[in-house]
């Protein structure tokens, strides 16, 4: 199976508000990935559902409302929204347009998504953690099962500097789980089962399970990625 690579500009809806980057049609094992735009003064859909969200705020700022309580969110924030919590995000941060990526378990798409306008939630608070808070010496996990996540973990990979190559000693690595990767910044070469693919900012990459893969930064600028892995990968090296 080849990786599935899709850029925002190739998947954006006619109204410019959403791009479905990894969908059920791609046969992802764990989650789907989408990109969302919230204009100043506007909100994300107001709803409640039985599955969790994980959201990464690319830029912009605003207010996340969960069961009536307000939480400030800003660029670089990873957000875990528990199941059965009434929620929406308002762009009121005076930082322009909000751009976000969001992952959901397959159930969300299989069930047709949330169909309501909110309701009585559990009151469980979200987890909000900015990538700048990470102790890189201890790893790059933003959201984990310790935060309540049951389906997938969110990583903010260490920046790849120009000339950097992942797993240089072995020429790459392989494992039993898939990656869902989003290119936040930069341009790289992704090598999968011996074939090279150029990837750039705004690309999503669904890396199949057991594919041998490696990242190379052959550009003159850093490469920054967000990665989503199934929770059972936590016991192994990412």
Tokens describing residue 171: 């020429």
* Model pLDDT, residue 175: 93
pLDDT at 11 over 90: yes
Determine the pLDDT at residue 115: 74
| CATH code, residues 4-134 | 2.60.120.10
Q: Is the pLDDT of residue 238 over 60?
A: no
**Per-residue pLDDT at 149:** 95
The mean per-residue pLDDT over the stretch 170-181 comes to 94
pLDDT of residue 47: 92
pLDDT at 120: 87
Sheet holding 98-105: strands in order across? Answer: 18-22, 31-38, 98-105, 53-59, 77-81, 127-130
Q: Which CATH number describes the domain made up of 152-235?
A: 2.60.120.10
Q: Which of 23-32, 86-95, 111-120, 126-135 has the lowest mean pLDDT?
A: 111-120
pLDDT computed for residue 236 by the predictor: 74
Closest by CA to 79, choosing from 50, 54, 110, 106, is: 54
- Portion of the chain with pLDDT greater than 90, in percent: 90
Six-digit token pair at 110?
């299989």
Rounded to the nearest 5°, which phi and psi values hold at 220? Answer: -105, 10
- d(C-alpha 206, C-alpha 4), whole Å: 5
CA–CA distances in Å: residue 85 to residues 30, 66, 72: 21, 6, 17
Q: What is the pLDDT of residues 185-235, one digit of tens each?
A: 999 999 999 999 999 999 999 999 999 999 999 999 999 999 999 999 998
Q: What is the pLDDT of residue 113?
A: 82
Give the pLDDT score at 116: 81
Are 237 and 170 in contact, with CB atoms under 8 Å apart? no
Contact status, residue 66 vs residue 125, Cβ threshold 8 Å: yes
Q: How far is CA 91 from the centre of its chain?
A: 19
What is the rounded average pLDDT of the residues 104-133? 91
Q: How far apart are CA 91 and CA 187, in angstroms?
A: 29
DSSP per residue over 141-185, as a string? EEE-GGGT-SSEEEEEPPPB-TT-BSSTTTTSB--SS-EEEEEEE
Helix, strand, coil share of the chain (percent; to 5): 10, 45, 45
Instruction: Calculate the CA 121 to chain-centre distance.
Output: 24
Q: What is the pLDDT of residue 90?
A: 97
Q: Which two tokens stand for residue 37?
A: 């735009």
Question: 12-18 long-range contacts, Cβ below 8 Å, gap at least 24?
Answer: none
Q: How far apart are CA 89 and CA 65, in angstroms?
A: 6
Using the predicted structure, report yes or no on whether residue 138 has a pLDDT greater than 90: no
16-50: pLDDT as tens digits? 999 999 999 999 999 999 999 999 999 998 999 99
- Give ranges for CATH 2.60.120.10 in the chain: 4-134, 152-235
Question: Sorting pLDDT into bands at 50, 70 and 90, what band is 123?
Answer: very high
- For residue 93, what is the DSSP state? S
Give me the chain's average pLDDT, please. 95
């Amino acid at each position: 199976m080849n990786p599935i690579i899709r850029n925002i500009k190739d998947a954006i809806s006619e109204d410019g508000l959403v791009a479905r980057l990894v969908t059920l049609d791609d046969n992802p094992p764990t989650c789907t990935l989408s990109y969302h735009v919230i204009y100043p003064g506007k909100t994300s859909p107001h709803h409640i559902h039985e599955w969790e969200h994980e959201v990464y705020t690319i830029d912009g700022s605003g207010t996340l409302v969960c069961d009536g309580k307000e939480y400030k969110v800003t660029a670089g924030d990873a957000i875990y929204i528990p199941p059965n919590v009434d929620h929406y995000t308002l762009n009121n941060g005076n930082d322009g347009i909000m751009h976000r990526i969001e992952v959901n378990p397959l159930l969300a798409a299989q069930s047709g998504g949330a169909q309501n306008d909110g309701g009585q939630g559990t009151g469980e608070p979200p987890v909000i953690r900015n990538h700048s808070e990470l102790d890189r010496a201890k790893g790059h996990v933003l959201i984990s099962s310790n935060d309540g996540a049951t389906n997938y973990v969110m990583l903010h990979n260490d920046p790849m500097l120009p000339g950097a190559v992942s797993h240089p000693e072995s020429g790459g690595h392989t494992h039993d789980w898939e990656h869902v990767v989003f290119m936040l910044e930069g341009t790289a070469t992704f090598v999968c089962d011996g074939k090279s693919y150029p990837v750039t900012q705004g690309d999503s990459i669904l890396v199949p399970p057991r594919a041998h893969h490696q990242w190379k930064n052959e550009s003159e600028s850093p490469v920054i990625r967000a990665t989503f892995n199934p929770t059972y990968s936590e016991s192994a090296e990412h």
